[in-house]
A and B are shown apart, each in its own frame.
Chain A
Amino acid sequence: MNFDYSKKTDEDLMRLSVGNSSAFAELVYRWQSPLLRYVVRFSGASHECAEDIVQNSFLKIYKNLYGFDYSLKFSSWAYRITHNETLNHLRKEKNLVPLDGKVGDEDSLKLIEILTDETDIEKELSKKEEIKKIQKVLKNLSPDFREILVLKYLEDKSYDEISDILKKPAGTVATLIHRAKEQLKTLAQKNNLTI
C-alpha cells in the first residue's frame, strides 16, 4: 500500500522516516537536487564528487534521525550536514575548495546582478570574456565568503537559516555577507568589472 507523502511537510516526513524508508525516500527525492546544486556551487566539486557527498549526507541524516531538533527547519539541518560533509570530503582529498571555474555562467551572472543596482548589467556582461572575468572573481573569493554569498543569493536562504546551517550567530552572518560583498566588489574592480 503506497501512501501519498507529497503533501507532508519535511518535518512530518522526518517523524515518519523512523522505520519507514518510503517516507525517507520522499525526503531524498525532494532535497537531492537542491543539495547537489549547493555542493557544486559552494565547493566547485565535480558532479560525481557532489553526488558522493550528497549521498553520504543523506546517510548521515538517516543515521541521526533521532537527533533532529524539531525547532529547526529540515532543510537547514540537511544543508548543515551537507556543508560539513563537503568540508570533510575536501579535507580528505587535500583539495580545499579549488573551484575550477565550476560556478555556472548563469549563477555567476545572477550573483553579480544581485550584488549590483544596475539593471542593464546583463547586457554588459553578455560577452563571454566578461563571464570568464566574473568566474575568476568568484574563484578568487575566499571560500567562506563564497559560500555565504551562494547561500544568501543563489540558494535564497534567510539570515536565520544561514545561521542554522553554518552554526554562526545571525549578527555574524550579516557581517560576513557585508564583508563578502565588499571583497567581491574589490576583486571585480581589479578585474575591470564595474559593480
Chain B
Amino acid sequence: MNKDKDISKNILDKIEKGEVTLTPEWHFTFRKVAIYTFFSLAIIGAVLAISLTIWNIANIEWDLVMRGFEKSWWERPFFWLFFSLLFGALGWYAFTFTHKAYRYRTIQIILIILGATFFAGLLLHFSGLSSRAEYALQENIPPYQNFIMHRQERWVNPEEGRLAGEVIDLQNSNQFHLRDIKNNQWSIETHQNTRFLVRPKKGEKIRLIGTPSGQGSFRANEILPWFPGSNPHMGCNKDTCRFKQKK
C-alpha cells in the first residue's frame, strides 16, 4: 500500500506543479460539434443523392430504351447511386467517431444508415423536392448540364419524329410555338388523336412525338412532359385525360 500511496503522491505532485494541465472544455465541444456536423452533412447529402437516384429511375424513358434509342439510360441513376453510397460511407465514418458508436456493430450502423437514408430519400422524392433539386442542378451547375445535354440532343431530332423544347407562345390548345435547345422555333399543331400526357403551358419544357409537317412546323401525335416521372396522367388520351383539348 505504501507503493500505492507513492503513486497518488506522484500524481498530485505533477498536477500541483502544473506538469499536467487540463485539456480545455472547448476542445472537446469543438470535436463533438465537428463530428456531428460532418455526420449530418454527409447524411443530408446521402438522402438528397438517394432521392435523385429514385427520381432518375422513375424518369427512365422505357419506351425509348425498348426501341434502342436510349443506350445510356443507367448512367444518371448510377451516378447518383454512387454519390449516395459515398455520402453514406462518409456518414458511417463520422459516426464511428461519436461517443457511443462502439455500442453498435458495423453491420447495424450500415443497415440503419442505408434504411434511414432510403426512407428519407423516398419521402423527399414524393414531396417533389428531388424534382426541384434536379431542375436546380440542371439550371445552375454547368458540369451537370453537360452531363444531361445528350438527352436533350436526342430529343431534337424531328426527322426521326422527336422534338423537345420550351413552349414560347400558346395560341390555343391545338396550336402553339416551341423553341428547341438549338434555338429553332417550331409551330406545333395537334389533331383529334393526339395523346396529351401533359397540357402545354407557356414557359414549360415538353417533348413531342410526331412528324415534321413542313419547314419549321411539326405535327404532334403525343405530347409528353419533359421528364416521364413528372407526369401523373401517363397513358391517358384526349378523351380520358383531364387536360382535354378545347374544341
Give the B-binding residues of A (Cβ under 8 A).
18, 21, 24-25, 28-29, 32-33, 36, 47, 51, 54-55, 58-59, 62-67, 69, 163, 167-172
Tell whether, in the assembled complex, residue B11 and residue A55 are in contact, meaning their CB atoms are under 8 Å apart: yes
CB within 8 Å of A: which B1-21 residues? 1, 3-4, 6-8, 10-12, 14-16, 20-21
Closest B residue to A169 by beta carbon equals B105
Known contacts A36-B4, A54-B7; A25/B102 CB under 8 A: no
Q: List 16 A-B contacts (CB under 8 A).
A: A25-B11, A28-B11, A32-B4, A33-B4, A47-B3, A51-B6, A51-B7, A55-B7, A58-B11, A62-B11, A66-B22, A66-B27, A67-B27, A167-B102, A168-B102, A171-B105
Give the A-binding residues of B (Cβ under 8 A).
1, 3-4, 6-8, 10-12, 14-16, 20-25, 27-28, 99, 102-105, 108
Tell whether, in the assembled complex, residue B23 and residue A28 are in contact, meaning their CB atoms are under 8 Å apart: no
Q: How far is the CB of A164 from chain B (nearest CB, A)?
A: 8
Tell whether, in the assembled complex, residue B8 and residue A21 are in contact, meaning their CB atoms are under 8 Å apart: no
CA distance A163 to B100 in the complex (A): 11
Tell whether, in the assembled complex, residue B7 and residue A170 are in contact, meaning their CB atoms are under 8 Å apart: no
- Selected from A32, A66, A167, A170, the residue in CB contact (under 8 A) with B23 is A66
Contacts of A170 in B (CB 8 A): 103
Tell whether, in the assembled complex, residue B8 and residue A25 are in contact, meaning their CB atoms are under 8 Å apart: yes
CA distance A172 to B107 in the complex (A): 12
Contacts of A168 in B (CB 8 A): 102
